[in-house]
Amino acid sequence: MNMLDREVTMPAAVALDAPLSALLREGTRAEHEQAENEGFVSRLMSGGLDVAAYADLAAQQHAVYTALEEASAVVRADQRGTGLVFDELTRVPAIERDLAYLHGDGWREEIRVLPATETYVARLRDVGGDLPRYAAHAYTRYLGDLSGGQIVQRMMQRHYGMGVAGLEFYDFPEIVKVKPFKDLYRERLDGLALSAEETDVAVAEAQEAFRLNRAVFVELGERHPGVSR
């Protein structure tokens, strides 16, 4: 469906003039629950898959963050958006180290980007330079990595015997305390002073970002069905 044809769905409890960070959180609550409960994610998190499945996820993340961080460079040059781009969040170098560990030095030739990932990347390339939509995509990924991502890292270590190598993606060495950083990020979102129309666009795009992530999980699930017990 075209984004412009879709109404933003928002729980009635959230005031329409609430800060952007609150609108994003409430506007994606249902999508978050769906993403968290997607078969591939729950199997990976509960030990039903293997390091190869995680390595495949990391390959998809490489494609996504390459496009997202190209968009960050555009937004950084925009006076209104510059405060939303943090060097501390940059993920591509860490993912590349993870991929070299997980797939070996020839990882660039070895990894396979899934069709759903191509769709996600195409969306980022299309709209990532537009501030409200960039805010939506950056919010979805970076606040997610700083939140549930930390749980993902622990579960990979617990279930698949991984250490630090291969999981650098979830480490933010320059962010000493995650909670205050997430609060600062939310302040920056709220400080963008988007118009009402731009705010609607941002919330709809965040819902789309979650759907794009979920579609990637669905395809990863087809490639990694796990063992039936």
Binding site for ligand HEM (CB under 6 A): 24-25, 32, 35-36, 41, 45, 139-140, 143-144, 147-148, 151-152, 210, 213
Cα angle 48, 59, 122; round to 5: 120
Dihedral over Cα of 18, 27, 196, 205: its sign:
positive
- Which residue has the closest beta carbon to ligand HEM? 148
CB 25 → ligand HEM: shortest distance, Å? 3
Residue 44 or 131: the one with the smaller Cβ distance to ligand HEM is 44
Q: Measure the CA–CA gap between 28 and 39, rounded to whole angstroms.
A: 19
Cα angle 166, 168, 174; round to 5: 170
CB 104 → ligand HEM: shortest distance, Å? 26
CB 178 → ligand HEM: shortest distance, Å? 8
CB 6 → ligand HEM: shortest distance, Å? 19
Residue 77 or 178: the one with the smaller Cβ distance to ligand HEM is 178
CB 130 → ligand HEM: shortest distance, Å? 19
Q: Measure the CA–CA gap between 183 and 187, rounded to whole angstroms.
A: 6
Residue 101 or 139: the one with the smaller Cβ distance to ligand HEM is 139
Q: Measure the CA–CA gap between 192 and 19, rounded to whole angstroms.
A: 10
Contact assessment for residue 22 and residue 14, using Cβ atoms and an 8 Å cutoff? yes
Residue 110 or 187: the one with the smaller Cβ distance to ligand HEM is 187
Phi and psi angles of residue 163, each rounded to the nearest 5 degrees, phi first: -105, -125
Q: Cα(first)–Cα(last) distance of the chain, in Å?
A: 37
Residue 75 or 146: the one with the smaller Cβ distance to ligand HEM is 146
CB 150 → ligand HEM: shortest distance, Å? 9
217 Cβ contact partners less than 8 Å away, ≥ 6 residues apart = 35, 38, 39, 40, 41
Residue 11 or 106: the one with the smaller Cβ distance to ligand HEM is 11
